[in-house]
């Protein structure tokens, strides 16, 4: 019964989301920024664990 009562609400939310227009260039720039931050974090971790604090089996 809950689903039947809220079908109007759900359909109005879906139509609102479908009516919004997203600019793909903005989404692509956001993806680039996230990829850049992730890549920088990966480079930092590689520097820390391969150069600064390397794993040495002999010690």
Task: Summarize pLDDT for 5-59 with one digit per residue, the tens.
Answer: 666 766 776 676 566 666 665 566 678 888 899 999 999 999 999 998 888 767 5
Rounded CA separation 29/16 (Å)? 24
In a domain, 38, yes or no: yes
In a domain, 6, yes or no: no
In a domain, 54, yes or no: yes
Q: 30: domain range?
A: 23-59
In a domain, 10, yes or no: no
Q: Judge if pTM exceeds 0.85.
A: no
Domain count, the chain: 1
25: left (phi over 0), alpha (psi -120 to 50) or beta: alpha
Rounded CA separation 12/39 (Å)? 40
Tokens of 47: 């520097």
Rounded CA separation 26/7 (Å)? 32
Which residues lie below 8 Å from residue 35, measured CB to CB, with a gap of 6+? none
């Amino acid at each position: 019964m809950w689903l039947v009562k809220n079908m109007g609400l759900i359909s109005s939310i879906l139509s609102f989301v479908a009516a919004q227009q997203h600019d793909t260039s903005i989404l692509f720039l956001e993806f680039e920024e996230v990829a850049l931050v992730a890549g920088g974090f990966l480079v930092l971790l590689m520097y820390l664990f391969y150069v600064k604090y390397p794993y040495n089996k002999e010690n």
